[in-house]
Structure 1
Amino acid sequence: MTHADLDARTRELDRAHVFHSWSAQAQIDPFPIAGGRGTSVWDHAGNSWLDFSSQLVNVNIGHQHPAVVGAIKEQADLLTTIAPSTASLPRGLAAQRITHLAPAGFSKVFFTNGGADANENAIRMARLYTGRDKVLSQYRSYHGNTGAAIVATGDWRRYPNEYAHGHAHFFGPYLYRSEFWATTPEEECERALHHLRRVIQSEGASTIAAILIESIPGTAGIMVPPAGYLAGVRRLADEFGIVLILDEVMAGFGRTGRWFAFEGQGVVPDLITFAKGVNSGYIPVGGVIISDPIAAIFDDRVFPGGLTYSGHPLAAASIVATIDAMQTEGIVDNARYIGEDILGPALRELAERHPIIGEVRGEGVFWALELVADRATREPVAPALVGALKADLFRRGLLAFTSENRIHVVPPCTVTADEVGAAIELYDAAFTAVR
Structure 2
Amino acid sequence: MLSGRKEGMGRVTADLSGSETTLDPIGAGVWHKPEPLVLLVEDDAADALLVEELIADGAPGVRLVWANSIAQAGERLAEGLPDCVLLDLNLPDAHGLDALASIHDYTDQVPVVVLTGLDQEQTGLAAVAAGAQDYLVKGRVEPELFGRAIRYAIQRKQTELAAAALRLSQLRAEENARLERGLLPKPLLRGERVIDVVARYRPGRVKALLGGDFYDVVQLADGTVHALIGDIAGHGPDEAAIGVALRLAWRTLVLSGITGPRQLGLLEEVLLAERTGRRTFATVTTLVLDPGARAARVLRAGHHGMFLCRGTEVDMIEVPGGPALGFLPGQANWPEQELLVPVEAGLMLFTDGLFEGHIGPGSARLGEEGLLNLARGLSGPAPEDFVDALIEQAEALAAGHGGLADDVAVLYLRWSAEQGTGSGGR
TM-score normalised according to structure 1 size? 0.22
Bigger helix fraction: 1
Q: Choose 1 or 2 for highest CA Rg.
A: 2
TM-score normalised according to structure 2 size? 0.23
If asked which structure has higher relative contact order (CA below 8 Å, sep 6+), I would say 1
